[in-house]
Amino acid sequence: MKKTAHNPPHVPFWLRWLTPVVLVLAWLAIAGVGGPTFGRLDEVSSNDQASFLPAGAEATEARDWQEKFRDSGEVPAVVVIESGAAFTPSQLGEAAALKGALEALRAGSTVIGPIPAEDQRAVQFIVPIPSSGEVKDAVHELREAVRDGAPEGTQTFVTGPAGLAADLAGAFAGIDGLLLLVALGAVFVILLVVYRSLLLPLAVLLTSVFALCAAILLVFGMAKLGWIQLNGQSQGILSILVIGAATDYALLYVARFREALTHTADRTAAVVTAWKASFEPILASGATVIVALLCLLFSDLNSNKALGPVAAAGILCALFAALTLLPALMGLLGRSAFWPFRPGLVPEGDREPILATGLEGQKGLWRAAGSLVSRRPRAVWVASVLLLLAASAGVLQLKAHGVPQTDVILNASNAVDGQDALGRHFDAGSGSPAVIVVSEARAGEVLAEVRAADGVGDAYLLAEGSVPITGAPGAATAPAVRDGRVLINATLDFAADSNDAENAVVALRENVKRLDPAALVGGVTATALDTNTTAQRDLLTIIPVVLGVILVILMLLLRSVLAPVLLVASVVLSYAAAMGVSALVFNTILGFPGADATVPLFGFVFLVALGVDYNIFLMSRVREESLKHGTRPGILRGLGVTGGVITSAGVVLAATFAALGVIPIMFLVQLAFIVAFGVLLDTVLVRSLLVPAMAYDLGRRIWWPSKLGRADQPVPAGAADGAGKPEIQQAGVR
């Protein structure tokens, strides 16, 4: 006998409109404050590599000692003037006259030079630039002054740490505009195709943009208070992550809202029903990503520690926007949001028939996928695993041991060209010496050892009153002594950011510590070396922590042990496959010399957390359907009803991360490819075939040890005519 429907509780007309209006106005206020803050992130952002090192790193300790030998913080710029032939006496005179102009430009700084090359085809100046100011602007002024004052017929470069930092900052300049424009444009086009509507994509994009404004406000506040160190990489990832995550959560909610509209003419009831149905998977998904990102706090690198809370704050804002702003917008728009293809009301007798196989009512791609899974489940998941394992073999070719800083910038760079010119005519390490801190008593022995070391062009004790960062010899006076320590500057034969220079620093550390165990070797090269070493150590520390917390969250969500273990195993295998394919693309197609040491860690955190996201969307719906129809029909129905929305979400997230590729920084281009490819692989293969086929093959055992895993639940009596649907009845929706 058909049950009588309960009418939805009466909600006053004014309250139906007041609640969404208040929520929208509140988010407008947040966006009004957070939007303008976007342009102020540079105030609290730094790209100084040394400041991201852990306090215990040898390069950091050496840097702290180096600070005691100078009165102000400075970063060296190396000016190189190159000619195709030997400099004439007249040209040398013009170069010498340039020194005064450079000193006037940077008042208070001591300019070293001109220093002629042995081949007489180049001269160099070393110009210390105060790090307290805007290095990018100072380098721009310096380049103009050098270009105007250099002898005719010569080429000019401003390189060294200051020049490279300036060009790096210039490469990140697109983050505030171009990156956001590309990401939003890609998402809008995809949403237009998915929804074939204009209002709905705008509502979803508005949710994403407002979530980003809130995240920026939160991150700016944390950086202003000194809780985190923000850099250009974190800033770019924040924008992409918030837009992608907010859009994904919005897609899930909208799918539930559209489904609810087929059961009721009451838009408020549909909003509430969709919210109740999507709250748990969205919350679980967001919590999984947030916790995984916060695991970066276990990193020894301050840059990684900063990314954790920055990205977690972005996901938190995306979560709140999807569960508050979007429902409010849907409450105001109702069916009009889907115009011109508004969902119609489905007669009660036609809703959710008893499922014999789980394929009833499905059509197209997802019926075909479900049919394949149900007919040959074991063959499907075994073939999927073998394919992923084959792709994973490429990970052995991944060269994630760091790359020279001159290779990090992918577009034209005056500083990179200057490093090449420097290497052609001078000791390539000029301007960026290795800095050795030794006891005064051992200074003579260590200095002799350093001068005799392979890869060292020159070395000398820092004299009292000289500039400690330039690598240029001081006057023949007594060495500077601080707390019983002296400084030795060692100019290397190799560019400071090269692998050869890092090998030379490793050898120096071994040699000088035999003479003085308390000696420290720092400098630009040592900083890069310690950063790479620490990043590789972090990979082994953080991966088990991330997997552990994700496993616990999945167990709580699915009330199962076996299903979460299999889901985590599937995303780990998917990650390995994505890294394997990425390594082949980087090495053979893009021709990259290697990868930043942090790339595997960031790729792991994002791919595993986001890959689990889609499995949460799928398996939470599968569990819901299994409670009604039994496990195997529930798997096929869950696959069918979530297939379109999860695939759309995967394409959106892949497109947003791919937008990182517009920033000409190797790290971001590599991360963009890894995450975009990995998300598509996870969406198309793992979530669509591997996981459903494995679950179907196991049947109800997938839910072990819960009650659902011990016996299939009987289909509730009257399910064909609308009974047995507690979620819909509680919301008063028919």
Residue-level pLDDT at 711: 57
Residue-level pLDDT at 436: 92
Is the model more confident about 107 or about 207?
A: 207
With 60 as the cut, is the pLDDT of residue 8 above it?
A: no
CATH of domain 13-40+173-403+530-730: 1.20.1640.10
CA neighbor of 282 nearest in space, from 329, 321, 249, 246:
249
Domain 433-522: give its CATH architecture: 2-Layer Sandwich (3.30)
**Domain 13-40+173-403+530-730 and domain 58-168 have a common topology:** no
With 70 as the cut, is the pLDDT of residue 570 above it?
A: yes
With 50 as the cut, is the pLDDT of residue 162 above it?
A: yes
Q: Do 614 and 646 form a contact (C-beta atoms < 8 A)?
A: yes
Phi and psi at residue 38, in whole multiples of 5°? -55, -45
With 60 as the cut, is the pLDDT of residue 620 above it?
A: yes
The overall longest dimension of the chain from CA atoms, in Å, is 108
Taking only the tens place, the pLDDT of each residue in 198-233 is 889 999 999 999 999 999 999 998 888 888 878 777
CA angle 620/622/623 to nearest 5° reads: 65
Q: Are strands 155-159 and 74-82 parallel, antiparallel or unpaired?
A: antiparallel
Residue-level pLDDT at 345: 75
CA distance 491 to 427: 7
At the topology level of CATH, where does 58-168 sit? Answer: Alpha-Beta Plaits (3.30.70)
3-state secondary structure of 398: coil
**Distance set, CA 542 to CA 87, 296, 547, 657 (Å):** 55, 7, 9, 22
pLDDT-derived band of residue 645, with 50, 70 and 90 as boundaries?
confident
Q: Give the amino acid at 54.
A: P
Rg (CA), the chain: 31
Tell how far CA 7 is from the center of its chain: 48
Q: Is the peptide bond before 281 cis (omega within 30 degrees of 0)?
A: no
pTM: predicted TM-score of the whole model, two decimal places: 0.81
DSSP 606-665: HHHHHHHHHHHHHHHHHHHHHHHH-HHHHHHHHHHHHHHHHHHHHHHHHHHHHGGGGS-B
**Token duo for residue 370:** 């479900």
CA distance 597 to 308: 17
Where exactly are the structural domains of the chain? Answer: 13-40+173-403+530-730, 58-168, 433-522
pLDDT-derived band of residue 577, with 50, 70 and 90 as boundaries?
very high
Residue-level pLDDT at 12: 66
CA distance 260 to 265: 9
Q: What sign for the dihedral angle of Cα 224, 228, 229, 230?
A: negative
* DSSP 8-state class, residue 56: T
Token look-up 């930092």 returns 165
Count the alpha carbons within 13 Å of 483 in the hemisphere toward its beta carbon. 7
Q: Is the peptide bond before 473 cis (omega within 30 degrees of 0)?
A: no
- Strand spans (E) along 493-595: 520-522
The packing angle between helices 666-681 and 562-584, to 10°, is 130
CA distance 471 to 464: 14
CA neighbor of 657 nearest in space, from 602, 713, 576:
602
Taking only the tens place, the pLDDT of each residue in 695-721 is 999 988 888 888 877 654 544 433 333
